[in-house]
């Protein structure tokens, strides 16, 4: 069995984990920089930390090909040629990312299991089933292929990673953070908490803002709300615009600060839930940040369940004597009231 995938870029985050129901006991690799940090001998290699994590997780043995010996991986080159001619001719047209292309490639690879190779007694799927008992079992937890790198937040509350910049709440400006980047997600960890999560960008020199990260600063400088770059083009629902106009009409300049306080509820509330709370506040005719917060918190409250004796006959016969409250009179004995 072979699997074909078109990664966005050749790097360690794009590594594939075994998916044929087990892990081969030995896997051959080319001398890619993703896996090899230094060639120390004919077959000896100093592997990268990322490859060592992959190897330790799945517990397989590595086998690296000799340098400039393409004949050692001729079978791999043949499979690549077969996949290119069978799956990528004519060149597929991809819309909206590589996910659909990779899903189609994996589907066609699995369909190829029904093919019988020349000189073999059975199909590829049947031969794979015969080999599965000697494969190593898959680990209980899936391997997370990610780059982990320390970074420093700049004065604009941006973290530079892989020739792009990602925002983080302004309270972490000039702090040391850790970037954990997978194939599709960039997580920024500050201390023991995940401070920011962004979709992974495979382009270059792009800046990605989360407007919520900058609301704390805007609350102290509400006049810059309409001109701040991180908030430019923020697609808020219509009800937020209506609430802002009501707040500014009722309170004037301070109404903008009240509106920012409502937006700051997004720091811990779901956008859909906050939108519903704003709509309810407008229906009730209240234009106040505290009112929106109370509506939001009220909807989160869970009713207290009352204990019921139904279905518990052994408890119905239990009699609890009434307390004697007269004993408390001893506490006031001899005290003038």
Give the domain ranges of the chain: 12-134, 147-208, 214-300
Structure tokens at 20: 């044929």
- Does the pLDDT at position 139 exceed 80? yes
pLDDT at 326: 84
Alpha carbon 240 to its chain centroid, in Å, reads 28
Residue 5 Cα distances to 1, 87, 309, angstroms: 14, 11, 61
What's the full length of the chain, in residues?
337
Give the number of C-alpha atoms closer than 13 A to the C-alpha of residue 228, restricted to the C-beta side. Answer: 20
Residues 58/15, Cβ–Cβ less than 8 Å: no
Question: 99 vs 112, which has greater pLDDT?
Answer: 112
pTM, 2 dp: 0.71
- Does the pLDDT at position 60 exceed 60? yes
Mean of pLDDT values over 17-39: 79
Mean of pLDDT values over 95-115: 83
Question: 151 vs 32, which has greater pLDDT?
Answer: 151
pLDDT at 200: 92
Structure tokens at 305: 């369940």
Mean of pLDDT values over 53-80: 82
Mean of pLDDT values over 240-260: 91
pLDDT at 13: 60
Give the ranges where the chain is alpha helix by DSSP (H): 49-58, 74-87, 99-111, 124-131, 215-220, 238-251, 254-263, 271-284, 289-300, 313-316
What residues are paired with 62 via a beta bridge? 27
Which residues have C-beta within 8 Å of that of residue 189, sequence separation ≥ 6? 177, 178, 179, 180, 195
- Distance, CA of 46 to CA of 130 (rounded, Å): 34
Percent of the chain's residues with pLDDT above 90 = 31
pLDDT band at 8 (very low <50, low <70, confident <90, very high): low
Question: 247 vs 329, which has greater pLDDT?
Answer: 247
pLDDT band at 331 (very low <50, low <70, confident <90, very high): confident
pLDDT at 15: 58
| Backbone conformation region of residue 161, classed left if phi is above 0, alpha if psi is from -120 to 50, else beta | beta
Which residues have C-beta within 8 Å of that of residue 96, sequence separation ≥ 6? none
pLDDT at 178: 96
Mean of pLDDT values over 196-222: 93
- Does the pLDDT at position 90 exceed 70? yes
Bond preceding residue 265 cis, omega within 30 of 0: no
pLDDT at 64: 85
pLDDT band at 93 (very low <50, low <70, confident <90, very high): confident
- Does the pLDDT at position 278 exceed 90? yes
From 148, 132, 206, 131, select the one nearest 182 (Cα to Cα): 148
Q: What does the pLDDT look like over 160-195, one tens digit per residue?
A: 999 999 999 999 999 999 999 988 899 999 999 999
What is the edge-to-edge ordering of all strands in the sheet holding 158-161?
158-161, 164-167, 207-208
pLDDT at 280: 92
- Does the pLDDT at position 20 exceed 70? no
State the DSSP string of 245-285: HHHHHHHSTHHHHHHHHHHGGGGTS-HHHHHHHHHHHHHHT
């Amino acid at each position: 069995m072979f699997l074909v995938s078109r990664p966005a870029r050749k790097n360690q985050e794009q590594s594939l984990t075994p998916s044929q129901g087990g892990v081969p006991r030995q896997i051959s690799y080319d001398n890619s920089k993703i896996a090899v940090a230094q060639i120390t001998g004919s077959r000896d290699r100093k592997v990268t930390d990322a490859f060592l994590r992959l190897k330790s997780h799945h517990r397989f043995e590595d086998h690296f090909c000799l340098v400039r010996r393409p004949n050692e991986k001729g079978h791999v080159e043949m499979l690549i040629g077969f996949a290119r001619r069978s799956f990528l001719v004519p060149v597929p047209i991809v819309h909206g990312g590589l996910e659909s292309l990779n899903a189609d490639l994996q589907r066609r690879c699995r369909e190829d299991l029904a093919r019988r190779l020349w000189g073999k007694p059975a199909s590829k799927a049947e031969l794979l089933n015969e080999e599965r008992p000697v494969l190593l079992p898959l680990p209980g937890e899936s391997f997370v292929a990610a780059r982990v790198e320390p970074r420093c937040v700049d004065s604009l509350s941006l973290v530079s990673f892989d020739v792009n910049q990602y925002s983080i709440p302004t309270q972490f400006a000039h702090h040391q953070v850790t970037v954990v980047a997978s194939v599709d997600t960039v997580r920024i960890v500050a201390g023991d908490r995940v401070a920011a999560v962004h979709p992974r960008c495979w382009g270059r020199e792009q800046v990605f803002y989360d407007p919520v990260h900058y609301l704390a600063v805007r609350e102290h400088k509400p006049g810059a709300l309409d001109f701040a770059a991180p908030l430019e083009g923020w697609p808020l629902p219509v009800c937020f615009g209506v609430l802002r106009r009501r707040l500014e009409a009722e309170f004037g300049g301070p109404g903008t600060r009240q509106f920012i306080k409502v937006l700051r509820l997004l720091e811990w509330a779901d956008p859909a839930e906050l939108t519903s709370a704003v709509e309810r506040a407008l229906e009730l005719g209240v234009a106040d940040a505290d009112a929106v917060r109370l509506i939001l918190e009220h909807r989160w409250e869970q009713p207290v369940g009352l204990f019921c004796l139904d279905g518990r006959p052994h408890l119905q016969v239990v009699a609890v004597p009434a307390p004697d409250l007269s004993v408390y009179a001893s506490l006031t004995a001899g005290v003038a009231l």
